Amino acid sequence: MGWQAWFTLAVVFLMVVVLVRDVVSPAAAVVGTMVVLFVAGIITPAQAFSGFSNPAPITVAALYVLARAVEKTGGLQPILAATLGEGVGKRRSLSRLLAPTAAASAFLNNTPIVAMLAPQVTEWAERRGISPSRFLMPLSFAAILGGVVTVIGTSTNLVVSGLLEEYGREPIGMFEITRVGLPLAVVGVLFLVVASPFLLRERRGPRRALEEGFREFLVGMEVAAGGTLDGVAVEAGGLRHLKGVFLVEIERTGEIIAPVTPTTILRGGDRLTFVGRADIIPDLQATRGLVSAEEPHIEGFDSARHTFFEAVIGPASPLVGKTLKEAGFRGKYQAAVVAIHRAGSRVRAKFGEVRLRVGDTLLLLTDPGFRDRWRDRSDFLLVSRLGGTPPGVSRKAWLVGLITLAIVLVAGSGFLPILQAALIGAIALVVLGVLTGGEARAAIDLEVILVIAAAFGIGAAIEASGLAEALATGLVDALAWLGPTGVLLGVLIATVALTELITNNAAAVLMFPIALSTADQLALDPRPFAIAIAIAASASFLTPIGYQTNTMVYGPGGYRFGDYARLGLPLTVLVVVVTVAVVPLFWPFN
């Protein structure tokens, strides 16, 4: 290899390390890598920024708008109500949940689907005394499986389609990938229904922990009349910087004072509510001028003033790597952290000293408008209210369904390319008043769009530097004795391993030029390799951090890291076997 190939390998390896260790956001890592390769002269300006003019990221952005419209109008609510019902058995309930989830994911982005369904599945399971862990991971996996049924089912399919177009080949048709995706989804869902009750252990999620350990979260105290705190400001009385607990509200003669400022004057008889680790922090008991009050009851906090929310921290969150104090959490979000759950258990350390990680679930006490303020921001991957009634179905839900059907039919028939059909549908949603312009803009995950667009430049560098050819030569030398099917298997396994470490879109872009060079060296049609990469890059079932929907259910399900491999490893093997068996039947090597 020449210096360009070695330089590209080093830069890409560094990017993978940065992504794995969550040093910066995925977009910053991928865009930064592309810029370094461009500045180093590995790629031309046209190659570096080719992804920004490719149909793939624009199509993904338009489909995000469509998914947001479905979420806003509650288009999936009737389906959810009909499928879950009053199920009496785990397998029966699983089959009624997973099949429609996979079907919906074939046409809508799976991230908002899981965001819509996960909180309601959790509520449904809790009401019946069943652990949500029995359903949430299979829900995520079913959404991933459904995404490979059509080219618009997941952004990865569109990325691979865009790459084919970039290299002068026909893009993937709307239902072309269905020939392998549909049998894969059917077999995968059947496996989940049959095997998950055996393989998944029952875990206790944050909601159950909140109910069972409520006294550890909220403590009521009263200001003693005539005591040392009567007539004293909160900060002057030493109640502003307590370790491990903080003052969330004051109740005075039936009125609520919240949020509490440092200058708020305390009065005798004031009832103070503190949030935090009251079971290990003696600060309150040692504070002169305070006397213990009766513990507040949990239902008292589900009102117009405040309620509880679950919020899952994603890889793009600015909170990753920071403590609550460093992030200025209370001031920025107007919310009090009641508990932090990580890897299936509640964090026992003082909240102010805990550095937040991807997948952490925060239990928050805040006002009912919290979800509306933060649902479309990168700060939290999932925000769901604890308790309460599920959102209703809007009168415009039928309109969203009609537009979705029109996009599928128009693109599937070839009357219009997928990009044009998706853009027309997104614009129609705004023009017809289903979404406002601001809602449409907020629905687009710019982090994902930037990763996709910049990754095209990295793929071009891998090709132009000679790195793809060198890696392909190694792959061919190692697996050529197994024939084309063996080489395809090698590409699949490499893609599966890579997608567990970095984002699925980045994995697809990095593997594509290598697969293309491999096919060229063996004088094979590259299309079966491209289809296999699209499938494998989405087949992220081994860890909670390899795919967004897995991260979304990690905390709420109370899962531990190894739970994913327990169910995901046999499912991954199944996906690889079916893909290797089916792809050559419909996309011959020669």
Q: What are phi and psi of 545, to 5 degrees?
A: -105, 0
Task: Enumerate domains of the chain plus CATH numbers.
Answer: 3-205+401-586 (no CATH), 307-385 (3.30.70.1450)
Q: Which of 160-164, 221-225, 471-475, 555-559 has the highest mean pLDDT?
A: 160-164
**Strand, coil or helix: what is 340?**
strand
Q: Which residue has the higher pLDDT, 424 or 291?
A: 424
Residue written as token pair 């920004």: 52
pLDDT digits (tens, 9 = 90+) for 468-516: 888 888 888 888 788 899 999 999 999 998 888 888 888 898 899 999 8
Q: Considering only 135-144, 359-368, 386-395, which range has the smallest mean pLDDT?
A: 386-395
pLDDT over 70 (residue 564):
yes
From residue 484, alpha-carbon distances to 278, 303, 305, 517, 528 in Å are 63, 63, 64, 13, 10
Selection from 131, 82, 126 nearest residue 103 by Cα: 82
Give me the mean pLDDT over the 288-305 stretch. Answer: 59
E strand segments, 156-252: 218-223, 245-252
pLDDT digits (tens, 9 = 90+) for 72-109: 887 676 666 666 655 556 778 888 889 989 998 998 88
Q: Considering only 102-106, 280-284, 465-469, 529-533, which range has the smallest mean pLDDT?
A: 280-284
Q: Which residue has the higher pLDDT, 328 or 22?
A: 328
Selection from 26, 33, 29 nearest residue 48 by Cα: 33
The total of other beta-carbon atoms located within 10 Å of residue 442's CB is 17
- What pLDDT score does 528 carry? 95
Selection from 122, 65, 195 nearest residue 114 by Cα: 122
Give me the mean pLDDT over the 397-411 stretch. Answer: 89
Given a contact cutoff of 8 angstroms between Cβ atoms, the answer to whether 540 and 546 are in contact is: yes
Q: Which residue has the higher pLDDT, 288 or 410?
A: 410
- What pLDDT score does 414 carry? 83
Give me the mean pLDDT over the 232-244 stretch. Answer: 79
CA distance 433 to 272: 45
Task: Give the pLDDT band (50/70/90) at residue 280.
Answer: very low
CA distance 431 to 423: 12
The distance between the two most distant Cα atoms of the chain, rounded to a whole number of Å, is 91
CA distance 255 to 249: 10
Task: Give the pLDDT band (50/70/90) at residue 190.
Answer: very high
Task: Give the pLDDT band (50/70/90) at residue 212.
Answer: low
Q: What are phi and psi of 44, to 5 degrees?
A: -80, 165
CA distance 280 to 298: 21
pLDDT over 50 (residue 299):
no
Task: Give the pLDDT band (50/70/90) at residue 425.
Answer: very high
- What pLDDT score does 226 carry? 85
CA distance 575 to 191: 11
The two tokens of residue 83 are: 């499928």
Task: Give the pLDDT band (50/70/90) at residue 431.
Answer: very high
Q: Which of 92-106, 201-215, 386-400, 528-542 has the highest mean pLDDT?
A: 528-542
**What b/e string do you get for 286-299 counting C-beta neighbours within 10 Å, with b at 16 or more?**
ebebbeebeebeee
Which H helix or E strand runs over 14? helix 3-21
Contacts 24+ apart (CB under 8 A), 85-94: 90/130, 90/134, 90/197, 91/193, 91/194, 91/197, 93/135, 94/134, 94/135, 94/138, 94/192, 94/193, 94/196, 94/197
- Compute the chain's Rg from CA coordinates: 26
Selection from 306, 294, 300, 121 nearest residue 221 by Cα: 294
pLDDT over 50 (residue 427):
yes
Give me the mean pLDDT over the 50-78 stretch. Answer: 84
Q: Which residue has the higher pLDDT, 84 or 315?
A: 315
**Strand, coil or helix: what is 516?**
helix
Given a contact cutoff of 8 angstroms between Cβ atoms, the answer to whether 589 and 549 are in contact is: no
DSSP state of 347: -
Mean confidence (pLDDT) of the chain: 84
Share of the chain above pLDDT 90, in %: 26
CA distance 397 to 432: 12
- What pLDDT score does 238 carry? 81
- What pLDDT score does 303 carry? 52
Q: Which of 323-327, 439-443, 470-474, 487-491 has the highest mean pLDDT?
A: 487-491
Q: Which residue has the higher pLDDT, 89 or 245?
A: 245
Task: Give the pLDDT band (50/70/90) at residue 296.
Answer: very low
Share of the chain above pLDDT 70, in %: 88
Using left for φ > 0, alpha for ψ between -120 and 50, and beta otherwise, residue 166 falls in alpha
Q: What is the pTM (predicted TM-score) of this model?
A: 0.80
Q: Considering only 140-154, 203-217, 530-544, which range has the smallest mean pLDDT?
A: 203-217
